[in-house]
Amino acid sequence: MTTLRALIAAALVVATFGWAVAKLPPPPPMDEKAKAAAEEKKAKDAAAAEAAKVAQAKAEDRVAARYMAEQKAKGVVVKPQMSSTAQAAPAPAPAKK
């Protein structure tokens, strides 16, 4: 009985939420200032993603170098499967407008 009440309550919440969202008006069209701000934010996010990618690659290189040094100290020869430069893909050319 408790499970049935919980299911009915959940269905009621979902239905009410769906009804409330359906009544929202569509967002107004963006003006030039908003479009420029959106483009600027998009460029900032892309630059941040690229910086994070570079930082991740540096961290991976440090970890790999440390692991190889530790293994070398133990007398085990570890050969890297790929160098960090082989993994880096060239940056795509910017789109022409």
pLDDT in tens, 16-43: 888 887 777 888 898 999 999 999 999 9
Taking the C-alpha atoms of residue 92 and residue 97, their distance in angstroms, rounded to an integer, is: 15
Per-residue model confidence (pLDDT) at position 91: 58
Please tell me the pTM assigned to this model: 0.51
Gyration radius of the chain over CA positions = 26
pLDDT in tens, 39-87: 999 999 999 999 999 999 999 999 999 999 999 999 988 887 775 555 5
Per-residue model confidence (pLDDT) at position 96: 59
